[in-house]
Amino acid sequence: MQQTRTGQGSAAAPFLTDVRTLRERARQHIETGAVTQSYGGDAARTIEILQSVLATELVCVLRYTQHSIVATGLSSDSVRNEFAEHAKEEQEHAMSVAERINQLGGAPDFNPATLTARSAAEYSTGADMAAMIRENLVAERIAIDHYRELVRYFGDDDPATRVMMEAILAVEEEHASDMQDLLATHGGG
């Protein structure tokens, strides 16, 4: 039995597959795991893109972690704590992305030898706290622009990846706002 949807003035059109068909499809190509017949994206391309996102997040983890340890100066404790919190959140993003790569049939690439080459963000330390804040703000702005593009790219073809990227994007925007506030407060305007 196929269910139908009725729209405003439109003819009834099927929009749900009957249960029997869903069950039959689920038994086909089970080796592809979460990538079913209804997946609208290109899994190989999505994995490739997500490898870059993973690298970007890992580079951000490393940069924020390093900054959380070496930042010095007046009021450095609060800035160091903010850097540490951002490192933790970037690590959570990396794990989410790695899990999605795995769900799509890929192996997340954590190879440190190629990490910075695959990352949209750069690993950059700063000579002083204001320079560190500035570098983190630049990296967040890069991630924001990149992830907005990816949200549009995944669109309706891969809603699970799009939703994941939207959630990460929201946190990156918060991070950028935090860095902007810190920059205004700690010398660099």
pLDDT band of residue 178 (cuts 50, 70, 90) is: very high
| Structural domain boundaries, residue 155 | 42-185
Q: Is residue 36 part of a domain?
A: no
Residue 7 has pLDDT above 50, yes or no: no
What's this model's pTM, rounded to 2 decimal places?
0.84
Q: Is residue 7 part of a domain?
A: no
Residues 12-24: tens digit of each pLDDT: 656 667 777 777 7
Q: CATH number of the domain that 67 lies in? A: 1.20.1260.10
Residue 177 has pLDDT above 90, yes or no: yes
Q: What is residue 125's predicted lDDT score, i.e. its pLDDT?
A: 85
Q: What is residue 1's predicted lDDT score, i.e. its pLDDT?
A: 42
- Cβ neighbours of 12 (radius 10 Å): 10
The burial class, CB within 10 Å (0-12 / 13-18 / 19+), for 76 is middle
Residue of 132, 140, 124 lying closest to 68 (CA atoms): 132
Longest dimension (CA), the chain: 70
Q: Is residue 4 part of a domain?
A: no
d(CA 132, CA 141): 14
- Cβ neighbours of 17 (radius 10 Å): 15
* Number of domains observed in the structure of the chain: 1
* Encoded tokens for 81: 């704590």
Q: Is residue 138 part of a domain?
A: yes
pLDDT band of residue 95 (cuts 50, 70, 90) is: very high
Pairing mode, strands 3-5 and 13-16: antiparallel
Q: Is residue 48 part of a domain?
A: yes
Q: Is residue 150 part of a domain?
A: yes
Q: Is residue 14 part of a domain?
A: no
* Encoded tokens for 6: 């009725």
